[in-house]
Structures are given as structure tokens and as C-alpha cells.
Amino acid sequence: PSSANHRLAPPPPRAIRSAYVDCLLLHSPLPTRNETLRVWRAMEAHADSGAVRSLGLSNQHDVGEFEWLYEAARHKPVVLQNRFYGTTGWDSALRRSCAARGVRYQSFWTLTGNREALGSAAVREFAASRGCSAEAAWFVFVRSLGITPLSGTTSDAHMRDDVAVAGMTPPSGAERERLMALIAAT
């Protein structure tokens, strides 16, 4: 093969250097319950063998389907990862269902999916009161809802800011009411 073709070849697979995978996620439900359950059972087999410690899923926006899978599963999902934004009604029913079952709700695209909220007066004022960026303030608010925001940054500075959020005081009183109004509007 020519050198140009060689550069386009995929790299060889790399072995995971761990005795187990901490959490294996089903990226999204399949078109039918039977298909979804068949894949979930295969994931459970990995949990049974000890190769996987816990299971979870993402991109599940239907509370009824989430609850169906939870009840059908031998190894219950420990995490649900969804995009947290207004189009899905902020997943309020799903977040309540997760909380009732001890399932951790994790949000992705928490910042990019909420640019309007980040520019709001409520977030800007909350950020100013904490001496942080609007992005950090939004993460603090989201964490106060019992959500674990996921960060996909490759910036060292942004990652330091994201980690610092864990030690910040959550909103209370009027601050919380103003921020809650942002997600109650949908």
C-alpha cells in the first residue's frame, strides 16, 4: 500500500489495562423492548462475570420505558446519562424516577445545550455572587438539583473550573428561586 493509504488505516486496537470496566452504558434504547432487553442481558452477563461492575444507559427520555427496563433488569441501571435541556422538559419526570430508584442522573452537554440560560440575568448574578464564570455557576445549580454534570472539556483551565464547582456553595433562597424559574419555564 502507498504511504497515503497507510496513514488512513485505523490504529490497531488497544487493550484496556484494567481487570474490569467500572460502568458499561447502553448508548440508547433500541427500536423494540425485546431488542433493548437482549442487549441489556448481554451486558448483565459481563456484570455476572465480574468484567463490569455496574450498568447504565443514556439517551433514554421516556420515563415509562426507563421504568420498564429498570423492572426487567437483573442488574439495575445505576446511572442514566441524558442531555439536560429545555426541549426534554429538563427530564423532570425521569429525574424523579431516577431519584426514587437510587439511579444517578448525569447530564451531558450541560453547558452547550443551555446557552440561553448561561446568558440569563439569574445565572450571571449568581456567578457574580460566587466570583465564578456563568458556566461554573450553572454547574453549581445543576449539582444542587442532584444531577452530576459531565464535562467533555480538553482544556486544563476549564477542567480545573469544573472540579472547583464541587466545593462551591449551592444557591439558596431567592437565588434558587430565580434559577429554578429558568427550568420551570418549559
- The whole-model pTM stands at 0.86
For residue 14, the model assigns a pLDDT of 74
SS (H, E, C) the chain: CCHHHHHHCCCCCCCCCCCCEEEEEECCCCCCHHHHHHHHHHHHHHHHHCCEEEEEEECCCCHHHHHHHHHHCCCCEEEEEEECCHHHHHHHHHHHHHHHHCCEEEEECCCHHHHHHHCCHHHHHHHHHHCCCHHHHHHHHHHHCCCEECCCCCCHHHHHHHHHHHHCCCCCHHHHHHHHHHHHCC
- Counting as low any pLDDT under 50, the low residues of the chain are 1-3, 5, 186
For residue 1, the model assigns a pLDDT of 45
- pLDDT tens digits along 91-131: 999 999 999 999 999 999 999 999 999 999 999 999 999 99
For residue 175, the model assigns a pLDDT of 95
For residue 29, the model assigns a pLDDT of 96
For residue 15, the model assigns a pLDDT of 74
For residue 2, the model assigns a pLDDT of 45
